[in-house]
Amino acid sequence: MKQQVLFDDLGVKPYKETWDYQEVLLQQNIEAKRNGLPATQRLIFVEHPPVYTLGKSGKEAHLLIDEQQRAEKGVEYFHINRGGDITFHGPGQLVGYPILDLETFKPDLGWYLRSLEEVIILTLADYGIQGSRSKGETGVWIEPDVPGKARKICAMGIRCSRWITMHGFALNVNTNLNFFNDIIPCGIVNKKVTSLQEELGREVSLEEVKERVKAHFEEVFEAELITIELSGVSRI
């Protein structure tokens, strides 16, 4: 049988509010597992106002502007508990946060990250774009092995506790790429960042991208997404 995964589209939400929401769901699932109960699988979609986030092992030097400059540009900043280095979230970007119990899928973080990458690679293929993996780096790239042309279109960073995941991926759809000029994205120098809009030369429907990502998530994870109705859920 396919795994049932609750799907929750939060729309536009501040980063900290959504981070707190993930933490609550993570702890609820950990507590359920301690009591011998099944975890509640969930996939969250959200779009954040401009924010830089730095992973737990990232370097603050990769943020190239100070607090005053960030305030002038209207960008928040958080040092958070996911893996990976620094990245940007903002309007026009699809952020996905799977809260999954990998013990009911496959307890293997490498498999999990490759599976998330595969969801995005399949989505890009729907738009005629060849997404690829870059050896030793997470996320999805375009022409990763071509010097001077390698560019990242989807960043990934996760946290996992008792095989329960949080955080996830950020796919640049119509994202303002200028925000990436003020960081060293993912701590990787000499590689660019791109978006669907940049690659296709046109604005892309974010709602259409969401539907394609959902379909490929179901395909790759052998899951069935069950949409949460607003009237039936109390959000943080």
Do residues 107 and 115 touch, judged by C-beta distance below 8 A?
no
Q: What is the pLDDT of residue 214?
A: 98
**Catalytic residue list:** 186
Domains in the chain, start-ordered, CATH in brackets? 3-232 (3.30.930.10)
Query: Quick check: 217 pLDDT over 80?
Result: yes
DSSP three-state, residue 158: strand
* Cα(104)–Cα(165) distance, integer angstroms: 12
For the question of whether the overall pTM of this predicted structure is more than 0.95, the answer is: no
- pLDDT tens readout for residues 150-200: 999 999 999 999 999 999 999 999 999 999 998 887 666 667 999 999 999
Does the annotation place 87 within a ligand binding site? yes
Q: In the chain, which ranges are continuous DSSP H helix?
A: 15-34, 67-73, 109-126, 196-200, 206-221
Residues with Cβ within 8 Å of 11's Cβ and at least 6 positions away in sequence, in order, are 46, 47
- pLDDT tens readout for residues 110-137: 999 999 999 999 999 999 999 999 988 8
- pLDDT tens readout for residues 45-61: 999 999 999 988 788 88
Calculate what percentage of the chain has a pLDDT beyond 70.
95
In this structure, which amino acid lies at residue 181? Answer: N
Q: What is the pLDDT of residue 234?
A: 46
- Classify residue 200 as left (phi > 0), alpha (psi -120 to 50) or beta: alpha
Does the annotation place 145 within a ligand binding site? no
Beta bridge partners of 227: 7
Q: What is the pLDDT of residue 146?
A: 92
* Cα(74)–Cα(200) distance, integer angstroms: 28
Mean pLDDT (the chain) is 92
Does the annotation place 82 within a ligand binding site? yes
**Residue 231 has what DSSP assignment?**
G
Residues with Cβ within 8 Å of 44's Cβ and at least 6 positions away in sequence, in order, are 8, 9, 10, 18, 21, 22, 96, 97, 98, 99
Does the annotation place 74 within a ligand binding site? no
Structure tokens at 16: 């900290």
